[in-house]
């Protein structure tokens, strides 16, 4: 079962992405790869770089900013492959952002 | 007559049958549907051919067949070939529910998984392990039956979609997950304690049943022993907790001849056994506090205060901080107790015991003018006539 771990953090309380923070993420990436659970994972640029759009009829409306203005921003994600939720939660708890933000764990839909 | 027999079997063995079926289908909803269909056909068959020698065995076999039928009806049949093969083998082997492994421990860990909302954990546990009907579970929460039905369905759908495992957690996760289970059991007990027996269900009895079941399935766990001890020590005093004039009485003022000696002794023995294992935990602290309230003579308040302080390390909640303050006040440390409740005002403003405690502390230092509005607030928030009457008496006693 694949799970997406969405990492939400408040940029005002989050330590900046310095060397020690990067090292913590690199270390987790390495351990996830060794355990064979890591499918993908990325950090996102800040929400000030976001563009949102919706299409109504033929018209595309483009807006500056994220989908919702919230205190905690979606800052990155992992997609991991685990046998069950307990193991997914076990890995999610090791994401450095979990220590000061919130990590939402969602199973991916299996088609077919 | 057949319906009564079936009702009794389903009430007694529903948890065991459901656990066995979930273990074999890996699917909560399918297992429940299969059991439901098996019960429906039992009514027909037993009516015609009489009640079988082993009604539970009959139901298990019938439910396994229903589960196979369910998979066959499914449009994505190809994905279920393996499941059908396993079930067919089981069904052919004529399983005896008395000899198959008891999977209820796995079931209770699934029902009380922290990924489910707390209310859903309680509802799912009452429905699956205590054999309450959806209507009865709805009545416990004063919900409409369809609302509760939807809540239960959503919980089961999440278990399936997020793949919450049907398993006893490993050693690393066990303390936290066991605490989640015991908390559900304790919440069921306290709901029953507050409501009293209603609509033919005594939640206190159900909670004690669950705690005994856990002790049987997970022996040698000090927190399980202590949780059962806590329930028994509280239950032992239940008959004495309301005085002849309808007021709630603290243990020290209760008529001890009304205490259930057997429950008290069993609770104390369980607590001793738990503590001797030297693996402390929150339920051992709670049970130890309950035991000190049941001791002969006045309670050892400094000891109770020390236990609450340790409990606060495990569960840093405002309610435990309030109980700690009450114990401090009873130990004579009024100034410290008042300072501590003062700091809790913002969090506990709508909580009756907070205002009752604050009123009591203020009355003790002779500040009747400040105590009076606190008593009035507590009386306005009181949930039962017994509490109201107790607080009214304290208010009238103010100088």
- How many structural domains does chain A have? 1
B169·A84 Cβ contact <8 A: no
B162·A107 Cβ contact <8 A: yes
Residue A52 placed within a domain: no
Question: What does the pLDDT read at residue A16?
Answer: 67
CB-based contact (8 Å) between B167 and chain A?
yes
CB-based contact (8 Å) between B164 and chain A?
yes
CA B160 to chain A, closest CA, distance in angstroms equals 10
Please write down the HEC assignment for all residues of chain B. Answer: CHHHHHHHHHHHHHHHHHHHHHHHHCCHHHHHHHHHHHHHHHHHHHHHHCCCCCHHHHHHHHHHHHHHHHHHHCCCHHHHHHHHHHHHHHHHCCCCCCCCCCCHHHHHHHHCCCCCCHHHHHHHHHHHCCCCCHHHHHHHCCCCHHHHHHHHHHHHHHHHHCCCCCCCCCCCCHHHHHHHHHHHHHHHHHHHHHHCCECCECHHHHHHHHHHHHHHHCCCCHHHHHHHHHHHHHHHCHHHCECCCCCECCHHHCCHHHCCHHHHHHHHHHHHHHHHCCCCCHHHHHHHHHHHHCCCCCCCHHHHHHHHHHHHHHCCCHHHHHHHHHHHHHCCCHHHHHHHHHCCHHHHCCCHHHHHHHHHHHHHCCCHHHHHHHHHHHHHHCCCHHHHHHHHHHHHCCC
Residue A88 placed within a domain: yes
The average pLDDT across B242-264 equals 89
Q: Answer whether residue B18 shows pLDDT above 70.
A: yes
The average pLDDT across B237-246 equals 88
* Per-residue pLDDT reduced to its tens digit, B159-197: 999 999 999 999 999 999 999 999 999 999 998 887 776
A85: which chain B residues are within 8 Å (Cβ-Cβ)? 113, 115, 162-165
Which one of B74, B163, B164, B168 makes the best mutation probe of the A interface by having the most chain A beta carbons within 10 Å? B163
* Per-residue pLDDT reduced to its tens digit, B28-65: 999 999 999 999 999 999 989 899 999 999 999 999 99
Residues 6+ apart with CB under 8 A from B327: B301, B302, B304, B305, B308
Question: What does the pLDDT read at residue B252?
Answer: 86
A89: which chain B residues are within 8 Å (Cβ-Cβ)? 115
Residue range(s) defining the domain that contains residue A86: 2-44+72-107
Residue A7 placed within a domain: yes
Lowest-pLDDT range of B8-12, B43-47, B327-331: B8-12
Lowest-pLDDT range of A13-17, B215-219, B320-324, B377-381: A13-17
Residue A34 placed within a domain: yes
B-chain residue closest to A111, CA distance: B76
Residue A20 placed within a domain: yes
A-chain residue closest to B116, CA distance: A85
Question: What does the pLDDT read at residue B90?
Answer: 76
The average pLDDT across B301-312 equals 97
Q: Answer whether residue B74 shows pLDDT above 80.
A: no
Name the pLDDT band for A19 (thresholds 50, 70, 90): confident
Which of A86, A105, A107 is nearest residue B165 as measured by Cβ atoms? A86
Question: What does the pLDDT read at residue A20?
Answer: 80
Residue A65 placed within a domain: no
Q: Answer whether residue B2 shows pLDDT above 90.
A: no
CA B165 to chain A, closest CA, distance in angstroms equals 6
Residue A50 placed within a domain: no
Residue A64 placed within a domain: no
| Mean model confidence pLDDT for chain B | 91
A-chain residue closest to B79, CA distance: A112
Q: Answer whether residue B97 shows pLDDT above 70.
A: no
Lowest-pLDDT range of A11-20, A86-95, B296-305, B342-351: A11-20
Q: Answer whether residue B77 shows pLDDT above 70.
A: no
**pTM for the whole thing?**
0.87
A86·B162 Cβ contact <8 A: no
Tell me the CATH number at A15: 3.30.70.1060
Lowest-pLDDT range of A15-29, A84-98, B233-247, B331-345: A15-29
B115·A1 Cβ contact <8 A: no
CB-based contact (8 Å) between B325 and chain A?
no
Q: What whole-number percentage of chain B has pLDDT above 90?
A: 71
Which one of A2, A86, A92 makes the best mutation probe of the B interface by having the most chain B beta carbons within 10 Å? A86
């Amino acid at each position: 079962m694949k799970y997406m771990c969405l990492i939400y953090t408040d940029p005002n309380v989050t330590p900046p992405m310095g060397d020690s923070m990067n090292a913590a993420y690199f270390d987790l990436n390495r351990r996830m790869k060794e355990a064979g659970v890591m499918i993908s994972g990325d950090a996102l640029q800040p929400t000030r770089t976001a563009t949102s759009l919706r299409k109504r009829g033929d018209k595309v409306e483009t807006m500056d900013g994220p989908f919702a203005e919230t205190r905690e921003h979606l800052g990155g994600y992992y997609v991991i492959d685990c046998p069950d939720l307990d193991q997914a939660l076990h890995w999610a708890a090791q994401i450095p952002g979990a220590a000061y933000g919130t990590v939402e764990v969602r199973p991916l839909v299996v088609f077919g | 007559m057949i319906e009564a027999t079936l009702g009794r079997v389903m009430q007694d063995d529903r948890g065991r049958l459901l656990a066995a079926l979930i273990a074999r289908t890996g699917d909560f909803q399918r297992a429940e549907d299969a059991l439901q269909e098996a019960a429906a056909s039992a009514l027909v068959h037993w009516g015609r051919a009489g009640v079988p020698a082993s009604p539970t065995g009959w139901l298990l076999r019938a439910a396994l067949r229903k589960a196979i039928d369910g998979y066959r009806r499914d449009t994505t049949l190809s994905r279920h070939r393996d499941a059908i093969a396993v079930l067919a083998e089981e069904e052919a082997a004529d399983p005896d529910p008395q000899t198959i492994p008891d999977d209820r421990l796995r079931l209770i860990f699934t029902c009380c998984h922290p990924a489910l909302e707390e209310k859903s954990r309680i509802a799912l546990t009452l429905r699956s392990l205590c054999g309450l009907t959806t209507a009865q579970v709805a009545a416990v929460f004063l919900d409409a039956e369809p609302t509760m039905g939807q809540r239960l369905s959503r919980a089961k759908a999440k278990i399936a979609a997020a793949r919450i495992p049907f398993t006893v957690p490993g050693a690393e996760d066990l303390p936290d997950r066991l605490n989640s289970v015991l908390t559900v059991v304790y919440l069921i007990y306290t709901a029953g304690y507050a409501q009293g027996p209603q609509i033919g269900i005594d939640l206190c009895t159900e909670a004690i049943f669950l705690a005994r079941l856990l002790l049987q399935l997970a022996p040698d766990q000090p927190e399980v022993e202590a949780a059962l001890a806590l329930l028994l020590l509280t239950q032992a005093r239940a008959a004495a907790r309301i005085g002849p004039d309808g007021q709630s009485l603290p243990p020290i003022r209760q008529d001890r001849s009304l205490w259930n000696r057997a429950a008290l002794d069993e609770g104390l023995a369980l607590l001793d056994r738990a503590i001797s294992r030297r693996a402390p935990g929150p339920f051992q602290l709670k049970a130890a506090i309950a035991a000190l309230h049941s001791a002969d003579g006045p309670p050892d308040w400094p000891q109770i205060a020390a236990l609450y302080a340790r409990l606060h390390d495990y569960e840093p909640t405002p309610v435990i901080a309030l109980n700690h303050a009450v114990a401090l006040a009873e130990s004579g440390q009024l100034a410290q107790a008042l300072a501590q409740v003062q700091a809790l005002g913002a969090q506990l403003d709508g909580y009756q015991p907070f205002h009752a405690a604050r009123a009591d502390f203020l009355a003790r230092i002779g500040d009747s003018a400040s105590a009076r509005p606190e008593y009035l607030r507590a009386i306005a928030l009181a949930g039962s006539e017994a509490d109201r009457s107790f607080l009214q008496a304290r208010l009238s006693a103010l100088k």
